[in-house]
Structure 1
Amino acid sequence: MAALDGSILAFDFGLKRIGVALGNTLLREAKPLSIISAATNDGKFAEIAELIQTWQPVLCVVGLPMHPDGAAHEMTQRCQRFANQLHGRYGIAVELVDERYSSAVISAKRGEHIDAQAAALILQQYFDQTP
């Protein structure tokens, strides 16, 4: 992928909540931003639209959960669908990041912002893996 300059939003997709993190290509550091917990898909995408309008990201990153052996499971497909919806609705490039090893780090943390922290970890993994 060509180098992009600007803000990047990352998402830790869940059925009840979506954690959101923000970073930029200059500093290459991720920070938790917010948690989306709207009851409906329309509500969730309305909140995402506000974030996209506010931050004008050049890229969205979505965590892709897998079994430890790399096999897909139900949430893998749901996250892929969410990533496709982000791209389709907003026309922004989307990258999927393997989040298999982020759960152990996040599960050690506590607090209500855990979903946003997970999104930040996913985004930091993206920065660390991308030249």
Structure 2
Amino acid sequence: MKITGIVMGFDFGLKNIGIAVGQQLTYTAQPITTLQTKKYQPNWDIMKKIFNIWQPKIFIVGLPININGTNQPLTYLTYEFSKMLHKTFDLKVIMQDERFSTIEARSRLFKYHGFRSLKPNQINSISAVIILESWLQKT
């Protein structure tokens, strides 16, 4: 599926949600920010501001599943987050396997910026980049 315009990716977590944007035209993605959650929910007012700035055409949400492909408790919360995204912004949401995205994010951050860069807010937004890149490579 070819999308013209911005694609927005999310790395959903219990404490933080990493956000990145990308384009199918260039097959590239970049980190935007990491939002803290309260009771597993972002501040939807901030989410709306981010949406209005970037005006994405579709959302890609990382799906946290176990190595063997089975669901874990976070999987169900991620589905709930995805439903809220769709309900709030009326855009299609695609779930993207995110196995190993956090490991890859830590590896990239350490390689380019050293140990001090391994902070949760940076890891989550880079994980969102990796999730988006994985989806872009499939399209």
For 2:22 and 2:40, locate their aligned partners in 1 and report how far apart those are by CA, in whole Å. 25
Question: What are structure 2's unaligned runs of at least 5 residues?
Answer: 110-117
Distance 1:41 1:14, change over 3 A: closer
More helix by share: 2
2:15 and 2:40 in contact (8 A); partners too: no
Summarize the alignment of residues 1-131 of structure 1 with structure 2, pairs less than 5 Å apart.
Answer: 2-39=1-38, 44-108=43-107, 109=109, 110-111=118-119, 112-130=121-139
Q: How many residues align?
A: 129
Deviation of 1:45 (Å): 1.4
The farther-off stretch of 38-47 and 71-80 is 38-47
Structure 2 CA distance, aligned partners of 1:116 and 1:29?
Answer: 14
TM-score for the superposition, normalised by structure 1: 0.90
Runs of 5+ unmatched residues, structure 1: none
The 1:43–1:32 alpha-carbon spacing in structure 2 relative to 1, beyond 3 Å, is closer
Q: Percent sequence identity over matched residues?
A: 28
* Structure-2-length-normalised TM-score: 0.85
RMSD: 1.7
